């Protein structure tokens, strides 16, 4: 029996927006998450959500580290909004699942029911229905669920590789934009500072920075806790390791000045998961250098007015989660770097 579809949908999913009408799914308050798909959509049975770090940290600050309370909050947000978009941070995450149905006008007709994929568009715009939360892992921000998600015709995804376990793949795909952008921005001999360098995206950025800056480059990693500093040390990618609080801008600036003989960094990558770190990055960048704000806790206002306030002529880049080839770049790090693969397997898989 042939399936019935709900008719043609917009490539960007505007047809799924319940309110306010006329906006795109990401800024929308509420989406229709019905598993009855339109002709150009993909329906996926979801089994793991990887909640964005800024969002997961915010939920814990609100309800504590109790898995039941975290599950309750995630269910409530998703039921209210039809998507897992944290109303405080605005951020989402991504999912892993198995294709259930490919709409007849979905662009990739090579996908088949049963294929395992990871979404590469944010949960903050992905129609999601959760039937049950089966487990919450407070150590890796991953939540096991039974539910369905819909990808629009414009939705990005990756087929899961066969040589990398899925929880491991998911952990790097979630932050794939950061190392891929780093690879594109770092030049031979550059001085690169990664703020939050011991975190999930931070270590991947360190790998790409080291690779592209070469032995003449100066790679500096900054983080806060002893555990993060230990992780950085274990990977052996940084020439200098700074232990500091990234919200203390002047202290960070002084320490970066020491590590660079006063020249400061050509490129600063911000991959922390807390607010209030814009100025540390801006002050650590050389004149006409670049700051790449990957962190979702970045404030445009604080960055723009802050740079102006201290008279810093620096280029500031918003961390687009997507750049061409980002999934392959991130997965390749697991193939190229044994230390990172072992560490991520221990932490996330």
Least Å distance, CB 256 to ligand NAP, is: 13
Least Å distance, CB 68 to ligand NAP, is: 22
Least Å distance, CB 69 to ligand NAP, is: 20
Selected range binding ligand NAP among 95-103, 156-164, 244-252, 323-331, rule: CB under 6 A:
244-252
Selected range binding ligand NAP among 50-58, 61-69, 76-84, 160-168, rule: CB under 6 A:
50-58
Judged by CB under 6 A, the residue of 245, 251, 254, 339 near ligand NAP is: 245
Judged by CB under 6 A, the residue of 130, 150, 151, 297 near ligand NAP is: 297
Inter-residue contact 143 to 74 (CB < 8 Å): yes
What's the rounded Cα separation, in Å, for the pair 242 and 222?
5
Q: How many residues bind ligand NAP (CB under 6 A)?
A: 30
Query: Of 337, 322, 281, 297, which is closest to residue 180 (Cα–Cα)?
Result: 322
φ, ψ at 189 (rounded to 5°): 85, 0
Three-state secondary structure call for residue 84: coil
Query: Of 303, 298, 342, which is closest to residue 203 (Cα–Cα)?
Result: 342
Q: How far is CA 173 from CA 146, 170, 254, in A?
A: 21, 5, 34
Selected range binding ligand NAP among 70-78, 143-151, 156-164, 199-207, rule: CB under 6 A:
199-207
Residues 202-241 contacting ligand NAP, CB under 6 A? 202, 223-225, 228
Q: How far is CA 195 from CA 139, 210, 278, in A?
A: 21, 15, 10
Selected range binding ligand NAP among 124-132, 148-156, 258-266, 270-278, rule: CB under 6 A:
270-278
Q: Which of 121, 264 has the CB closer to ligand NAP?
A: 121
Least Å distance, CB 142 to ligand NAP, is: 11
Residues 169-198 contacting ligand NAP, CB under 6 A? 174-175, 177, 196, 198
- How far from each other are the two terminal CA atoms of the chain, in whole angstroms? 40
What's the rounded Cα separation, in Å, for the pair 81 and 75?
10
Judged by CB under 6 A, the residue of 186, 272, 316, 327 near ligand NAP is: 272
DSSP at 63: H
- Taking residues 126 to 165 in sequence order and writing x for each that binds ligand NAP by CB under 6 A, - otherwise, the string is ----------------------------------------
Least Å distance, CB 121 to ligand NAP, is: 10
Q: What share of the chain is helix, strand, coil (3-state, %, to 5)?
A: 35, 25, 40
268 CB-contact burial (10 Å; exposed 0-12 / middle 13-18 / buried 19+): buried
Least Å distance, CB 277 to ligand NAP, is: 7
Q: Binding of ligand NAP at residue 78 (CB under 6 A)?
A: no
Q: Which of 124, 260 has the CB closer to ligand NAP?
A: 124
Q: Which of 111, 232 has the CB closer to ligand NAP?
A: 232
Q: Binding of ligand NAP at residue 337 (CB under 6 A)?
A: no
H or E element at residue 342: helix 338-348
Q: Which of 102, 241 has the CB closer to ligand NAP?
A: 241
Task: Supply 311's token pair.
Answer: 């008279």
Q: Which residues on adjacent β-strands are paired with residue 319?
A: none
| DSSP codes, 140-182 | TTEEEEEEEEEE-TT--EEEPPSSS-HHHHHHHHTTTHHHHHH
Where does this chain bind ligand NAP (CB under 6 A)? 52-54, 91, 174-175, 177, 196, 198-202, 223-225, 228, 245-247, 271-274, 294-297, 319, 321
């Amino acid at each position: 029996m042939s399936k019935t579809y709900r008719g043609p949908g917009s490539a960007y999913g505007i047809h799924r927006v319940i309110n306010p009408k006329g906006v795109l799914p990401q800024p929308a308050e509420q989406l229709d998450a019905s598993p009855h798909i339109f002709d150009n959509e993909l329906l996926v049975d979801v089994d793991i959500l990887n909640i964005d770090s800024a969002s997961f940290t915010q939920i814990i600050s609100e309800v504590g580290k109790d898995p039941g309370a975290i599950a309750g909050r995630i269910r409530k947000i998703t039921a209210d909004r039809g998507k897992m978009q944290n109303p405080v941070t605005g951020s989402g995450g991504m999912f892993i699942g198995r294709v259930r149905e490919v709409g007849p006008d979905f662009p990739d007709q090579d996908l088949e029911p049963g294929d395992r994929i990871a979404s590469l568009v944010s949960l903050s715009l992905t129609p999601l229905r959760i039937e049950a939360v089966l487990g919450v892992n407070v150590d890796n921000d991953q939540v096991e669920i039974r539910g369905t998600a819909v990808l629009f015709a414009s939705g990005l995804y990756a087929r899961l590789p066969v040589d990398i376990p899925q929880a491991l793949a998911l952990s790097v795909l979630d932050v794939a934009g950061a190392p891929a952008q780093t690879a594109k921005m770092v030049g031979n001999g550059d001085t690169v500072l990664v703020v939050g360098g011991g975190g999930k995206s931070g270590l991947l950025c360190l790998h790409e920075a080291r690779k592209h800056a070469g032995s003449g480059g100066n790679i500096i990693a900054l983080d806060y806790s002893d555990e993060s500093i230990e992780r950085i040390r274990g990977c052996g990618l940084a020439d200098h390791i700074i232990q500091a609080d990234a919200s203390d801008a002047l202290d960070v600036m002084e320490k970066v000045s020491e590590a660079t003989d006063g020249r400061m960094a050509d490129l600063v990558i911000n991959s922390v998961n807390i607010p209030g770190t814009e100025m540390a990055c801006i002050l650590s960048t050389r004149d006409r250098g670049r700051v790449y704000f990957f962190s979702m806790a970045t404030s445009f206002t604080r960055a723009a007015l802050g740079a102006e306030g201290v008279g810093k002529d620096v280029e500031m880049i918003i961390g687009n989660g997507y750049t061409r080839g980002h999934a392959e770049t991130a997965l390749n790090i697991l193939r190229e770097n044994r230390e990172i693969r072992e560490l991520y397997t221990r932490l996330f898989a």
